């Protein structure tokens, strides 16, 4: 390793640890009660059985049946309308009539920054989250399933300081779960190179790539042993996705060139199975599978929101082709059997409420929220923006005054609002576990004066319960716009300006339906809202000036 690379790596780790409050490497190692994979050289075999060993010390909540016959879930949670929700009834049983496999290969990817379900409409109605995923691994371990876990990459979705912290947490989580190989997605590689090096390098980190080079610290492939098999794993970033990256500190090569270099080494290692993690479009991944038929399993990114129910094969059935879906909602399990007629079984596993949150991952969530609070909005790089309704000739129109001020004149409307969940939106963050009063991704829809799709505060918008208590709740001004100029005009004598400001605050039902509610009640936060606007509208509708 060159002195320049060593200096960059050391400096980047120190800076990130100081700024983000991230755990030092030895603290991360102690936090995970698992045996770390031994990466060694790129061709060195590991004796670990990753996910089994990574979760063997975790406490597992007993379920009514083992994974291979899971037909009932954990305690039934209550849904958004107070009705019991059975996750198995909602999402189906898993591993029905499966005998214990010789090896269970768990395939995930494209987490897209969703390290946990948002919970706005009840976590029991939502899928995903690293806490449930670890409990799923723990359940497999409890039942003695030899397991190998790999991920196609795509841990984050945006860029910025908060996303860097998420990447650190996601890397810690997959390391704790015993993943043996993780690829890179294009949005991962939009993060600063120093952050990537600090998070992905190290003997305990499973990141690999045949065509993405981070200062010569990236492993091109790994060879591991699991279930009595020697398995070679590599990953590539597709050529189309490479066009999205503008980072001159990375060395990228075409996917085909990377595989042409790595595949002979994997074959020389005498592997029983070869796995390619292709963070590429499905069409490009299929082309790579055809060009390199030695890979038994090819995992692709860029597929549908939810992975297919059935196993897909290429090359006359010789290559298994897997899509993993998006946002970490599912895990795909390939069961390997000593059965000439049916050597492989396929299961799409919904990460729902049948899997309780693991305590270890919950601690990471608490630490994550603590880092956001410590950094504050400025430390996260958030700069208040001007509200789009602010008129250049009337600067005061950009000031938020709070719903109580609106209620001084609009008593009926305020009374209706105060009885809705909108009024308690900020309180729900305060009572969440852990509290989320400093998380921009939560605040954007739970307070007054934020841009819900950009996770950014508007000028004079909510800051904190102590500094801006009048802006708690999802208030009037989130729909009608900042009320400062309207309030000032009502107190003044300029009748033309008064009428102008009144008109600026008015909304039509069509505008609300098409442009406002859906910014928070989207497919992630409220999957039951789409197409049902008329059902919910009467709960908040208020007519007239009073």
pLDDT at 445: 94
**What does the angle CA 332 – CA 282 – CA 339 come to, to the nearest 5 degrees?**
40
Which pLDDT does position 546 carry in this prediction? 65
The band of 469, judged by pLDDT with boundaries at 50, 70 and 90, is very high
Number of structural domains the chain divides into = 2
Matching residue, tokens 């949005």: 187
Confidence of residue 545 (pLDDT cuts 50, 70, 90): low
Per-residue CA distances from 80 to 122, 429, 478, 499, 523 (Å): 6, 17, 23, 41, 15
330 and 453 housed in the same domain: no
Q: How confident is the model at residue 289 (pLDDT cuts 50, 70, 90)?
A: very high
pLDDT in tens, 478-537: 999 999 989 988 899 999 988 888 888 888 888 888 888 888 888 777 777 878 888 888
In-domain check, residue 373: no
Give 367-398 as a DSSP string: HHHHHHHHHHHHHTT---B--TT--TT-GGGG
CA dist., res. 544 & res. 149, Å (int):
59
What pLDDT, on the 0 to 100 scale, is given for residue 202? 83
Q: Could you tell me how many residues make up the chain?
A: 546
Residue 254: pLDDT above 70?
A: yes
Tokens of 491: 């107190």
The answer to whether residue 439 scores a pLDDT higher than 90 is yes
- 433 pLDDT band (50/70/90 cuts)? confident
Question: Which of the listed residues 364, 392, 424 is the one where a domain comes to its end?
Answer: 364
DSSP class of residue 512 equals I
**Alpha carbons 211 and 52: distance in angstroms, whole number:** 30
Tokens of 78: 């209550």
What are residue 493's DSSP bridge partners? none
In a domain, 370, yes or no: no
Determine the Cα–Cα distance for residues 115 and 401; give it in Å rounded to an integer.
34
Per-residue confidence (pLDDT) for residue 117, from 0 to 100:
85
- What is the phi-psi region of residue 319: left when phi exceeds 0, alpha when psi lies from -120 to 50, beta otherwise? beta
Range 91-112 average pLDDT? 96
Residue that is last in its domain, among 364, 396, 426 = 364
Residues 14, 163 within the same domain: yes
**Whether residue 123 sits in one domain with residue 41:** yes
Specify the range with the lowest mean pLDDT, choosing from 202-206, 299-303, 397-401, 412-416: 397-401
276 and 153 in a common domain: yes
Q: Which distant-in-sequence residues (6+ apart) come within 8 Å of 222 by Cβ?
A: 39, 42, 46, 180, 181, 206, 208, 232, 233, 234
CB 448, CB 473: distance < 8 Å? yes
Q: Identify whether residues 265 and 331 lie together within a single domain.
A: yes
Query: Per residue in 358-407, pLDDT tens?
Result: 999 999 999 999 999 999 999 999 999 888 876 544 555 579 999 999 99
Please check whether residue 224 is in contact with residue 37, taking contact to mean a CB–CB distance below 8 angstroms. yes
Band of residue 237 on the pLDDT scale cut at 50, 70, 90 = very high
Cis peptide before 434, with omega less than 30 degrees from 0?
A: yes
d(CA 292, CA 207): 21
| Token pair for 306 | 């939810």
Who wins on pLDDT, 19 or 343?
343
DSSP conformation class of 205: -
Report the b/e string of 96-127 with b at 16+ CB within 10 A: eebeebbbbbbbbbbbbbbbbbbbbbbbbbbb
pLDDT of residue 152: 98
**Does 372 fall in a domain?**
no
Task: Please work out, in degrees rounded to the nearest 5, the angle formed at the alpha carbon of residue 496 by the alpha carbons of 495 and 497.
Answer: 90
136 and 98 inside one domain: yes
Distance (Å, whole) CA 544 – CA 119: 34
Mean pLDDT is lowest, of 41-55, 192-206, 336-350, 437-451, for 41-55
> Is residue 263 situated within a structural domain?
yes
Mean pLDDT of 448-470: 94
Verify that 59 and 199 share a domain, yes or no. yes
CA atoms of 498 and 165, how far apart (whole Å): 47
As a whole number of angstroms, the distance between CA 103 and CA 254 comes to 32
Residue 73 contacts residue 67 (beta carbons within 8 Å): no
Region 145-166: mean pLDDT is: 94
Task: Judge whether 473 lies within some domain.
Answer: yes
pLDDT for 390:
62
Q: 520 is in which domain, residue-wise?
A: 382-540
Last residue of a domain, one of 315, 335, 364: 364
* Mean pLDDT, all residues of the chain: 83
Q: Is residue 24 domain-shared with residue 172, that is, in the same domain?
A: yes
- Determine, yes or no, domain membership for 174: yes
For 264, counting Cβ atoms within 10 Å of its Cβ (0-12 exposed, 13-18 middle, 19+ buried), the class is exposed
Same domain, 437 and 522: yes
Q: Which of 15-24, 112-121, 345-354 has the least mean pLDDT?
A: 15-24
Three-state secondary structure along 320-333?
EEEECCCCCCEEEE
Asked whether residue 525 falls in the same domain as residue 440, the answer is yes
Question: What was the pLDDT predicted at 64?
Answer: 31
pTM (whole model) above 0.85: no
The tokens describing 100, both together, are: 């214990």
Whether 423 shows a pLDDT value over 80: the answer reads yes
The model's confidence at residue 27, banded by pLDDT at 50, 70 and 90, is very low
Q: Are residues 480 and 350 in the same domain?
A: no
DSSP assigned state of 94: B
Q: 545 lies in a domain?
A: no
Q: What is the pLDDT of residues 347-362, one digit of tens each?
A: 999 999 999 999 999 9
Q: Give the CATH number, domain containing residue 272.
A: 3.60.21.10
Residue 120: the pLDDT is 74
List b or e across 131-154, with b for residues whose CB sees 16 or more CB atoms inside 10 angstroms.
bbbbbbbbbbbbbebbbbbbbbbb
Q: In terms of domains, do 482 and 337 share one? A: no
pLDDT by residue (tens digit) across 30-72? 333 333 333 333 333 333 444 433 333 333 333 333 444 443 3
What pLDDT is recorded for position 36?
A: 31
3-state secondary structure of 276: strand
97 part of a folded domain = yes
Residue 481, class by beta-carbon neighbours within 10 Å (0-12 exposed, 13-18 middle, 19+ buried)?
buried
């Amino acid at each position: 390793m060159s002195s320049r690379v060593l200096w960059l790596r050391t400096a980047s780790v120190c800076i990130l640890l100081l700024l983000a409050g991230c755990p030092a490497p030895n603290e991360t190692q102690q936090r995970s009660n698992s045996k770390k994979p031994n990466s060694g050289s790129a061709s060195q075999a590991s004796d670990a059985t990753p996910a089994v060993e990574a979760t063997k010390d975790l406490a597992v909540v007993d379920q009514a049946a083992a994974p291979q016959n899971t037909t009932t879930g954990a305690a039934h949670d209550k849904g958004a309308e107070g009705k019991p929700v059975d996750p198995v009834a909602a999402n189906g049983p898993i591993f029905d009539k499966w005998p214990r496999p010789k090896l269970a290969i768990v395939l995930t990817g494209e987490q897209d920054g969703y390290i946990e379900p948002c919970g706005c409409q009840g976590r029991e109605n939502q899928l995903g989250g690293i806490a449930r995923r670890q409990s799923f691994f723990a359940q497999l371990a409890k039942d003695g399933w030899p397991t190998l876990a790999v991920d196609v990459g795509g841990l984050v979705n945006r860029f910025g300081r908060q996303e860097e912290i998420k990447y650190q947490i996601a890397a810690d989580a997959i390391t704790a779960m015993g993943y043996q190989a993780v690829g890179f997605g294009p949005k991962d590689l939009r993060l600063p190179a120093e952050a990537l090096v600090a998070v992905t390098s190290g003997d305990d980190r499973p990141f690999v790539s045949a065509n993405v080079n981070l200062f010569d610290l990236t492993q091109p492939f790994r060879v591991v042993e699991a279930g009595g098999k020697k398995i070679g794993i590599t990953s590539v970033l597709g050529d189309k996705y490479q066009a999205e990256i503008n980072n001159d500190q990375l060395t990228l090569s075409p996917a085909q060139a990377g595989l042409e270099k790595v595949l002979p080494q994997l074959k020389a290692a005498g592997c029983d199975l070869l796995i390619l993690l292709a963070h590429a479009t499905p069409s490009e991944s299929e082309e790579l599978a055809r060009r390199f038929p030695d890979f038994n399993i090819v995992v692709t990114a860029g597929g549908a929101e939810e992975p297919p129910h059935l196993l897909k094969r290429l090359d006359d059935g010789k290559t298994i082709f897997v899509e993993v879906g998006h946002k970490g909602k599912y895990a795909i399990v390939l069961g390997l059997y000593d059965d000439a007629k049916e050597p492989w079984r396929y299961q799409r596993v919904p990460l729902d409420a049948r899997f309780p949150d693991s305590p270890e991952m919950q601690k990471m969530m608490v630490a994550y929220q603590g880092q956001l609070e410590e950094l504050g909005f400025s430390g996260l790089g958030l700069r208040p923006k001007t509200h789009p309704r602010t008129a250049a000739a009337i600067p005061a129109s950009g000031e938020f005054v709070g719903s109580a001020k609106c209620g001084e004149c609009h008593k009926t409307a305020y009374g209706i609002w105060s009885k809705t969940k909108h009024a308690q939106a900020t309180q729900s963050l305060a009572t969440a576990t852990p509290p989320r009063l400093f998380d921009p991704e939560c605040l954007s829809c739970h307070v007054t004066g934020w841009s819900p799709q950009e996770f950014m505060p508007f000028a004079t918008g909510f800051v904190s319960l102590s500094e801006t208590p009048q802006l708690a709740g999802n208030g009037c001004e989130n729909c009608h716009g900042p009320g400062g100029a309207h309030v000032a005009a009502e107190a003044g004598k300029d009748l033309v300006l008064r009428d102008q400001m009144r008109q600026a605050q008015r909304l039509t039902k069509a505008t609300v339906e098409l442009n406002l509610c859906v910014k928070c009640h989207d497919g992630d936060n409220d999957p039951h809202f789409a197409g049902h606007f008329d059902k919910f509208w009467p709960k908040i509708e208020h007519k007239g000036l009073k």
